[in-house]
A = this chain, B = another copy of it.
Amino acid sequence: MARSKGVTIRDVAQRAGVSVAAVSMALNGTGTLSAATRLRVRAVAEEMDYQADALARGLRRSSVGAIGLVMRSLDSLGEYAPRGVDVFSRYIGAVSAQAMDRGLSVMLVPDLTKRPTPPLALSLDGYIVTMPHVDDPVVELLERREIPYVTLGRDPDRPEFTDWATEDEQLSFRRIYEHFAANGARSIALVRGTDPNAWNIDSEATYRAWCESAGITPRVYRSAERAGERGGESVAHTIVDDGVPDAILCHTGRQAAGVLVGLTARGVAVPDRTMLAAASDSEHTRHSRPAISAVELHAVETTLALLDLLQARIAGEPSAGPVLTTSRFRIRASSRRTHPSA
Contacts and interface: CB of A to CB of B under 8 A. Distances in A.
Interface string A50-63: 01011111110011
A45 B6 CA distance: 35
Interface stretch (A110-118, A181-189, A207-215, A332-340): A110-118
Which range holds the interface residue count of chain A?
35 or more
A44 B109 CA distance: 27
A59 B110 CA distance: 24
Contacts of A80: 93-94, 96-97, 100
Given A55-B64, A90-B83, A4 B122 contact: no
A156 interface: no
Nearest to A53: B123
Contacts of A84: 86, 283
Nearest to A101: B110
A54 B123 contact: yes
B103 A105 contact: no
A271 B59 CA distance: 62
Contact of A81 (B63, B83, B90): B90
A100 B117 CA distance: 10
A225 to B, nearest CB: 16
A280 to B, nearest CB: 15
Copies in the complex: 2
Contact of A54 (B51, B110, B122): B122
A92 interface: yes
Nearest to A61: B1
25 contacts: A1-B316, A3-B145, A6-B122, A6-B145, A54-B119, A55-B58, A55-B120, A57-B119, A58-B119, A65-B119, A66-B118, A79-B97, A81-B93, A82-B93, A83-B90, A88-B89, A89-B89, A89-B92, A97-B110, A103-B118, A105-B107, A105-B108, A105-B109, A108-B108, A283-B286
Interface in A312-341: 316
A121 interface: yes
A47 interface: no
B86 A120 contact: no
